[in-house]
C-alpha cells in the first residue's frame, strides 16, 4: 500500500481539500491547518502545512508575547478565572445565557413551622454573538525556502503585527464596546457602552491642574459607592487611560509620602489600578471582578493557521481568535461596572 492510500485510509480525507472542508471534517479543530507531523510509522499526516516545527514555534512564541502584553483588560479577567470556555468555538455562533432576578427578603418568626412566602427567581434569556477577530497575512514560498537555505530565522514581523492588531481589537471591544454589531438577537457590549453601566461625575479630569490627590480619591470612593448601591460588593479593578497615568504617579499630598496610585490601592476592595490604552479617553472605569459582572467568553485562543494558494507558491496565514466580553446585570438592572467622567 503506498503512502497516499495509507493516508486516505488513516484520515478518511481529513487532510486534503479546501480549508472549509478540512475544518468541517475535523469538527472545526484548527489544528488541522497547522504544523506537519508524522505518525509512529513515519508517515506524513498533515501534508497541507508548509511550515516545519521550529518555524511554527517561532510564530507561536511571537504571537504569545504580543498578545500577552496587549490584552491588559482581557488578561485581568482570564487570570482570575472569569472565563466561559466554549468547546468547538468555531462551530458556535451565539452564546445563550440566563439572567436571574432576586427573591423577596427572608422572614423572621419565633416559630420555625410558620409558613413563609413562597418565591422563586425568574429567568430571561439573553444572547451573545461570537464573531471571529482575525488578521491575515502571507509569505512568499521563495522567501521561506531562502530562509531555510541560509539558516536565517524566519521573519516573524508580519505575525507580530497581526497579533498586535487582533489583541488591540479584543481590548477595544472590551473597553469601548461593539454595540453596533448585532447577530442572532444579541449585542456585544463593552464597559463604556453597556446599557446597564453606572455613571459617576468626576470633579475634574484627573490630568487637569484642578484635580488633586484628594479629589481623585473622592471620585473613586463615589464609584465604589455606586457599585455597592447596585448590590455589587467587589472586589474591583480600576482602569484609567494613558493620559491620566502621570496623575496617578504624582504625590498624593505633601503630608502623605506616597503616590495617588498607592492611596487608591489602600481603598478596601480595590485590587489594582491599571492603565489601559484602549480605555475611553477622559474616563475611569471601575469593574467588579466577579463572573456575574464581567467575564471573557473564549471559543478560540489567539491562534495562527495556514493554507496554500497559487499552486503552493503562496503561503496564507490567519491570526484569529474568538474572545468576546460578556457583561451582565440582573433583571433589575443592577450592575457592578461604574464609569466616571465629567
* 314-327 vs 236-240, strand pairing mode: unpaired
Degrees, nearest 5: CA angle 271-277-281: 95
Q: Using an 8 Å Cβ cutoff, are 177 and 187 in contact?
A: no
Residue 70, class by beta-carbon neighbours within 10 Å (0-12 exposed, 13-18 middle, 19+ buried)? buried
User: What is the tens place of the pLDDT at every residue in 214-228?
Assistant: 999 999 999 999 999
How far out from the chain centre does Cα 159 lie? Answer: 19
The most confident of 4-18, 47-61, 108-122, 327-341, by mean pLDDT:
327-341
- Summarize pLDDT for 149-200 with one digit per residue, the tens: 766 666 678 888 899 999 999 999 999 999 888 888 899 999 999 999 999 9
Which of the four pLDDT bands, split at 50, 70 and 90, describes residue 60? Answer: confident
Q: Does pTM surpass 0.85?
A: no
Percentages helix, strand, coil for the chain (3-state, rounded to 5) are 35, 30, 40
Topology at the third CATH level for domain 198-293+332-341: hypothetical protein PF0899 fold (3.30.2320)
Q: Is 150 helix (H, G, I), strand (E, B) or coil?
A: helix
Only one residue has cell 468555538, namely: 89
| Ramachandran angles phi, psi of 116, nearest 5° | -90, 175
Domain boundaries, the chain: 8-49, 198-293+332-341
316 φ, ψ (degrees, to nearest 5): -100, 140
What share of the chain in percent tops pLDDT 70?
Answer: 74
Give the chain's mean pLDDT: 81
pLDDT higher than threshold 80 for residue 144: no
Amino acid at each position: 500500500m503506498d503512502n497516499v492510500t495509507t493516508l486516505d485510509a488513516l484520515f478518511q480525507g481529513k487532510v486534503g481539500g479546501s480549508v472549509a472542508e478540512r475544518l468541517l471534517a475535523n469538527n472545526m479543530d484548527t489544528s488541522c491547518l497547522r504544523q506537519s507531523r508524522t505518525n509512529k510509522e513515519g508517515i506524513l499526516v498533515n501534508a497541507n502545512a508548509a511550515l516545519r516545527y521550529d518555524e511554527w514555534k517561532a510564530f507561536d512564541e511571537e504571537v504569545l508575547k504580543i498578545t500577552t502584553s496587549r490584552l491588559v483588560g482581557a488578561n485581568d479577567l482570564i487570570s482570575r478565572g472569569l472565563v466561559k470556555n466554549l468547546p468547538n468555538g468555531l462551530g458556535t455562533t451565539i452564546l445563550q445565557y440566563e439572567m436571574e432576578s432576586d427573591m423577596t427578603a427572608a422572614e423572621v418568626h419565633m416559630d420555625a413551622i410558620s409558613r413563609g412566602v413562597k418565591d422563586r427567581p425568574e429567568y430571561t434569556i439573553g444572547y451573545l454573538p461570537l464573531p471571529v477577530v482575525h488578521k491575515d497575512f502571507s509569505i512568499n514560498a521563495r522567501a521561506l525556502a531562502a530562509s531555510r537555505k541560509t539558516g536565517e530565522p524566519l521573519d516573524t514581523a508580519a505575525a507580530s503585527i497581526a497579533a498586535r492588531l487582533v489583541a488591540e481589537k479584543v481590548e477595544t471591544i472590551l473597553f469601548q464596546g461593539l454595540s453596533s454589531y448585532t447577530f442572532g438577537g444579541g449585542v456585544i457590549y463593552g464597559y463604556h457602552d453597556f446599557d446597564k453601566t453606572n455613571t459617576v461625575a468626576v470633579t475634574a479630569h484627573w490630568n487637569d491642574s484642578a484635580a488633586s490627590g484628594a479629589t481623585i480619591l473622592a471620585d473613586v470612593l463615589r464609584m465604589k459607592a455606586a457599585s455597592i448601591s447596585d448590590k455589587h460588593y467587589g472586589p474591583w479593578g480600576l482602569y484609567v487611560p494613558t493620559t491620566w497615568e502621570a496623575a496617578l504617579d504624582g504625590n498624593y499630598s505633601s503630608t502623605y509620602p506616597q503616590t495617588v496610585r498607592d492611596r487608591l490601592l489602600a481603598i478596601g476592595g480595590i485590587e489594582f489600578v491599571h492603565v489601559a490604552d484602549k480605555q475611553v479617553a477622559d474616563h475611569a472605569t471601575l469593574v467588579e471582578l466577579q463572573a456575574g459582572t464581567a467575564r471573557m467568553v473564549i471559543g478560540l485562543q489567539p491562534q495562527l493557521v495556514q493554507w496554500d494558494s497559487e499552486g503552493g507558491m503562496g503561503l496564507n496565514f490567519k491570526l484569529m481568535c474568538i474572545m468576546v466580553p460578556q457583561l451582565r446585570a440582573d433583571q433589575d438592572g443592577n450592575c457592578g461596572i461604574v464609569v466616571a467622567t465629567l
